[in-house]
Structure 1
């Protein structure tokens, strides 16, 4: 029988996976590099945050929770930096923004 904490953990993990799926669909469906970057960085950062929250409920030590939060913070910094570099490179190469 699942406890309330385990059920909440499973819900957070599934929601995190759905955000990763949404980011992947955005990568495949959106028309230009800028909207694709937006979909990936936003959805994946939130998805990883939900997964970290779900995993944090199941670990037994606070040190592991701190490590998970540190990993999440580093991924957020890295994804923002890389997305900025990719968007800047696209602008410098003359790739136009999609106007719809």
Structure 2
């Protein structure tokens, strides 16, 4: 059972890393701020969630799993909040101009 969880954890963390790389590539390639924020926040949240799930599969203690889940929730909340605040500030700047 441990081997299956290790393989599943490694696959999830690899997929999460792929999502984060796609987010970085989208941030680099997309033309405007709002499309960059959209791609970045979605892929970033999915990537971190996959990495947290993969790492939780590979740990052996409930305290470590709870720490991972807390970190994942905080990253998801802060990423969404920051993206919203940046988009709101950008739209307010456009209205003033």
TM-score by length of 2: 0.92
1:20 aligned residue: 20
Gaps of 5+ in 1: 96-100
1:72 aligned residue: 72
**Bigger proportion of residues as helix:** 2
Distance 1:21 1:85 in 2: 23
Gaps of 5+ in 2: none
Distance 1:77 1:49 in 2: 12
The answer to whether residue 32 in structure 2 is matched with residue 32 in structure 1 is yes
Distance 1:71 1:80 in 2: 14
Number of residue equivalences? 94
TM-score by length of 1: 0.89
**In the TM superposition, what are the counterparts of 1:48-67 in structure 2 within 5 Å?**
48-67=48-67
Q: 4+ residue runs of structure 1 moved beyond 4 angstroms?
A: none
